[in-house]
Amino acid sequence: MNKNKLFFLLVVVLASLMPACNNDFLNTQPLDKISSEATWADGPLSEAFIFNVYSFLGYGGFEEQGLSALTDEAMFTHAGRNINTFTEGSESPSNLAWFSNTYEWGNMFLAIRQANIAIQRLPDATFDNDELKERLLGEAYFLRAYYYHQLLRYYGGFPIIDRPYELNEDYNIARNTWAQCVDFIVGDLDEAATLLDGKEETPGRASKLAAMALKARVLLYAASDLHDGPTASSKSSVLGGYANLDLVAYTSGDQNARWQAAKAAAKAVLDAGSGYKMDLASPVSFEEGRDNYISIALGGGSAVGDPAASGELIFERTHTPEYTQENNWPLGGIHFGINNGPNGYHNWAGNTPIQQLVDDYEMMDGSQFDWSNPDHAAAPYSNRDPRFYGTVLYDGADWKPRPSDVAGVDPSDQIQTGYYDDGAGGIINGIDTRESPIENWNGSRTHYYVRKYIDPDPALADNQSSAQVIPWPFIRYTEMALAYAEACIETGDDAEAQAWINKVRFRSGMPAVTETGAALMERLINERRVELAYEEHRYHDARRWMIAPETLGRGIKAIDVQATLKAGQSAHAPYRYDKEVYDYTYTVVDNTENENRKWDDKMYYRALSRDEINRNNLLINNPGFN
């Protein structure tokens, strides 16, 4: 049979199957390959096209390598993933470091093309449902803005393309200025908010509030020091010597006016939403603060935690059959648990917390943790900010029952990342160390593991299956509260900033902040660090504040935990954490096994690849990459 006849028969068979298995059909082939007239004449097909545009969101932050590993939050355990190319400052246009498709230049333009098709076709779509048409158009504007905002915050200004290019067009197009790109994104989001006003809200899909919140985030970034040309130039010779500074910053205008715009946008979101337990007048208990934070991380997607915490999420990534990219992979938070949990649970220890993050969690009284304080050094995991216990697994932390083949080694269900006196002159290697008898190649190099986003259900010992879904928080209400507080500080409204920072802290069981001015800004910086840990904010925050050299540029610190028997005591067999039997010492050490981190100012932006430059000869690369 010749190829043309075979193709014709295949088309006939597929067409005959469509009415009988509509849902399966929506979940298999990219629907932009269906004839355009059929797509835009049918409401469900048009909706399926928009679902395909959503699919470029990927898994959000639930990827094996996390953005946290490019920051002072985490170290990626497994060598050979090209992360050190970035953290050691050796990235170049011909040698890109690891990147995610959730922000990669070429992939974002593929997504934007799909959004542009929808924006072009939906106004003239012939299906008979105007409300659905408006909603889909609003979602298309939101998604185009979202993907452009990804380009903006990783690369700076981009070529603004507002229509789908056709074959044989000239694809050479210059990057627009930072100011033009911000205005374009804000315009899209205003349009999205108008179109989505009054439409049904569905978890995982754009809403009016999501459009307002993304606008507030974009304006916050736009107001920050990295994007104020005179400020950025004065702080960095690389930026100051860049001939095309308007691609990455405002070269004129009033930074204070930009802060006022960011302030107003964030406050509009706060007034329109409510968040989770943000109306407290005093701190909750330690236990409630810890549980509140865990519930927020679970996002209502677990049997463990408060379902009301789902109200915190403004825009989230969920597991639904419409988003085809996720269908053949474990559920969001389960995937994250396998990637990042302890090796003693048959997990992979991917993006392990580093000591610098652990040290930045305050004591319960709001004071700073200090290794030079003997009490702190003797018990570094005691009496800390309750959010620490919802984010980090450390030596001696209670966790889930072990898988059946490991339960006999650890019947106490405690994390073991130290080395313990066996009472006979030898050492017991903790079963969550790299010297463990359980999958030692998957052990943490920092002696910590991630707790956040991992379902604590004791029935899920190895995080391999669950009926629950843990969503990825693209935008949540607390981000907006902290954005508003930051803009208040920058515009001299310290009292209002204190009030909103304290709403976040009271929910977590932490005392009020009372500082003003620069000291209050330091508290805000740390509050974002711990509240939004592992949510892909630290990478951007450290850059836009221009504190990256002294934060992201630090080396990796880890902890060495040693337990020796007290006089007259006998070792536990099997071992378990016990301060009455063992003396514990904690020593901070450098870890350079995978990376020798340093900072280079070119790392404020990602490089455009040599292939992209060759493909579009009007592109100008970012500072330090020319």
Q: Please give the pLDDT value at position 71.
A: 98
Q: For 19-71, what is each residue's pLDDT tens digit?
A: 334 444 334 455 445 677 899 999 999 999 999 999 999 889 988 999 999 99
Both tokens assigned to 449? 């593991």
pLDDT tier at 14, thresholds 50, 70, 90: very low
pLDDT at 443 over 60: yes
DSSP-assigned letters across all residues of 147-176:
HHHHHHHHH-------SPPPTT-----PPP
Across the range 365-371, mean pLDDT stands at 98
Helices 208-223/255-272 angle, 10° precision: 160
Residue 607 has pLDDT above 50, yes or no: yes
Q: Buried (b) or exposed (e) across 322-347, using 16+ Cβ within 10 A?
A: bbbebeeebbbbbbbbbbbbbbbbbb
Q: Is the pLDDT of residue 321 over 60?
A: no
- How many CA atoms lie less than 13 Å away from 338 in the CB half-sphere? 13
Q: Which helix (H) or strand (E) is 468 found in, with range?
A: none
| Average pLDDT rounded to a whole number, residues 307-314 | 95
CB 69 within 8 A of CB 76: yes
H/E run at residue 12: helix 3-17
Q: Is 432 helix (H, G, I), strand (E, B) or coil?
A: coil
Chain segment 101-141, per-residue pLDDT in tens: 999 999 999 999 999 999 999 999 999 999 999 999 999 99
282 pLDDT above the threshold of 90: yes
Residue ranges of alpha helices (H) inside 491-568 are 494-508, 517-531, 538-544
HEC states along 568-607?
Answer: CCCCCCCCCCCCCCEEEEEEEEEECCCCCCCCCHHHHCCC
| Mean pLDDT value of segment 335-351 | 92
Q: Which residue has the tokens 């709403």?
A: 503
* In contact, 446 and 354? CB cutoff 8 Å: yes
Residue that is written with structure tokens 């902290």 in the block: 482
d(CA 585, CA 588): 10
Q: How far apart are CA 140 and CA 129, in angstroms?
A: 17
pLDDT tens for 389-431 read 999 999 999 999 999 999 999 999 999 999 999 999 999 999 9
pLDDT at 465: 63
Tokens 């934060």 locate to: 551
What pLDDT band is residue 467 in, cutting at 50, 70 and 90? low
pLDDT of 167 reads: 85
Joined together, the tokens standing for residue 210 give 């999501």
74-76 and 556-565 beta bridge pairing = unpaired
